[in-house]
Amino acid sequence: MKLKEKLTKILGLNRTILALSFARMADAMGNSILFILIPLYVAKLPKEYIHFSVPVLIGILISVYGFINSFCQPLMGALSDKLNKRKVLILLGLGLIGIGTLCFVTASNFTELLLFRSLQGVGVALTIPASLSIITAVTKQESRGGSMGVFSTSRMVGFAIGPLVGGYLQVHYGFDTAFYLGAALIFSSMIMVYVWVKEVKISQSDAGQQRLNVFDLSLYNTGILTAALATFTMACCFSMVTSLENQFNAMLNMTAIGFGFAFSMVMVGRLIFQLPLGHFSDRFGRKPFIFWGLLLMAASTILLGEVQSMLQLIILRLLQGIAAAGIAAPAFALAADLSRRGGEGRQMSIITMGFGLGIAVGPLLAGLLVSFFFKLPFLVIGLAAMASALIVYKYMPETVQKESKALSKP
């Protein structure tokens, strides 16, 4: 069997998956540049009309993006099911993200940053459900975990590179240069989607196109909801450190470059383990990887409150990345396994809504709790991850016939 055929069989690779993956990588790199710059930029700008501590302001800015992104995703998922034109929505969303990033250059106060970050949130809400709906339509269950792994891995490559580049550019060339590069990368991802991705029409056999039914409760079963909980908890754990950048920098004597390097370790961990764990979930089941990933995420998050050196921070962020690799692709694949034809956009949007809410809640909660004492946010969010693991263990269904039993037979 040729290498191309093997990759297609194992990972579910095809032109559409590769095109969306490369575009997502460029988009993620452009967007993640902001992760490192936002805490520093918020501390620099005037706080007109909003007078809170810097950690709380950072949490608000990051959370507004996450909340808008999350609450808009079910609507955008329903819209993609209704219109059956997903490529157009992806292009429109990427355009809004790019414009929002470019506008950061013109921001003169915190209020304007909120407006531009909100625009980015709407853009992301447009792109993600439409992208996952296309991937669900062009993949098969036996290789879907691998396909989701490729897509997630490409995204993680961008997220791993972006903070490093953002920190370097801010230190040596200033904020504007980093914002310009971030916008350019996002606009380049628009070109990739336009040229490489073909529109995928999905027949509406089950969920129909009679009306824009955003919350069709029949679409949201226990598997979909527990997968959304897993992605929510995962995102809370690894995003919470964003609003604590200034505290980590002062405590560990780091610059934006050092924090950017440590921050990127989550993406490095996912980059290394996302693809194999996604593939293994096709063979041995989704649920075990999600359950153990949540437990590892809980432990590494709690220990983050105890770090005494940059090396410890790097190691624990790497462990969070490995944990996230065990959660993300299997959770998305499980949701795709359970999706109904014609309702993919709405069902997958619940999973991405969970992720977006985690991105929003984690930094906001950390910014609020750190005012009591530094270790508190890590304890609270880490224990929440343990509770999520127990819920997954008890209520999440399995969608894959495990091969371990079959392999034991002669």
Q: Please report, in tens digits, the pLDDT of each residue of the chain (410 residues total).
A: 455 555 455 445 667 777 788 777 877 787 777 777 887 888 777 665 566 777 778 777 777 877 887 778 778 877 777 777 888 999 999 999 899 889 988 888 888 888 998 898 888 888 888 887 787 777 776 666 667 767 777 777 777 788 778 888 888 888 889 889 888 988 988 888 888 888 877 665 544 444 555 555 666 778 888 999 999 999 999 888 888 888 888 898 888 778 878 887 887 888 788 778 877 888 888 899 999 999 999 999 999 999 999 999 999 999 999 999 899 888 888 887 877 666 566 677 778 788 878 887 888 899 889 889 999 999 999 999 999 999 999 999 888 775 444 333 33
Instruction: Confirm if 399 and 144 have CB atoms less than 8 A apart.
Output: no
Q: Tell me 199's DSSP state.
A: P
Question: Kindly report the CA angle at 392 between 273 and 267, in degrees rounded to 5?
Answer: 25
- What region, left, alpha or beta, does residue 46 occupy, with left being phi > 0 and alpha being psi -120 to 50 degrees? beta
Buried b (16+ CB within 10 A) or exposed e, 299-321: bbbbbbbebeebeebbbbbbbbb
Short-list 265, 279, 363, CA closest to 317 = 265
pLDDT of residue 143: 66
Q: How many CA atoms lie within 13 A of 233 on its CB side?
A: 33
Q: What are phi and psi of 292, to 5 degrees?
A: -70, -30
Give the list of residues 6+ apart from residue 103 with CB closer than 8 angstroms, or none: 112, 116, 119
For residues 74 and 136, the answer to whether their CB atoms sit within 8 Å is no
31/99 Cα distance (integer angstroms): 11
In this structure, what token pair is assigned to residue 104?
Answer: 């950061």
Give the H/E segment covering residue 403. Answer: helix 403-408
* Res 109: pLDDT: 82
Query: For the structural domain made of 15-198+218-402, what CATH number should be given?
Result: 1.20.1250.20
DSSP state, residue 205: S
C-alpha to C-alpha distance for 42 and 61, rounded to whole angstroms: 9
- Note whether 148 and 15 are within 8 A (CB): no
- Among 41, 54, 23, CA closest to 106: 41
**How is 13-42 classified by DSSP, letter by letter?**
--HHHHHHHHHHHHHHHHHHHHHHHHHHHH
Tokens of 52: 């809170």
Q: What amino acid occupies position 190?
A: M
Q: If DSSP codes are grouped into helix, strand and coil, which group holds residue 47?
A: coil
The overall longest dimension of the chain from CA atoms, in Å, is: 72
Whether residue 214 contacts residue 78, with contact meaning beta carbons closer than 8 Å, is answered with yes
Contact 4, 149 (CB under 8 A): no
What SS3 string covers 225-247? Answer: HHHHHHHHHHHHHHHHHHHHHHH
pTM for the structure as a whole: 0.68
Q: pLDDT at position 182, please?
A: 85
Residue the block writes with tokens 């355009």 = 95
Of 156, 126, 151, 154, give the one whose Cα is nearest residue 139: 151
Distances (CA, A) of 201 to 24, 80, 83, 263: 21, 10, 10, 39
Q: What Cα–Cα distance (Å) separates residue 88 from each residue in 82, 121, 190, 217, 372?
A: 13, 17, 10, 27, 47
Exposed / middle / buried, residue 1 (Cβ in 10 Å: 0-12, 13-18, 19+): exposed
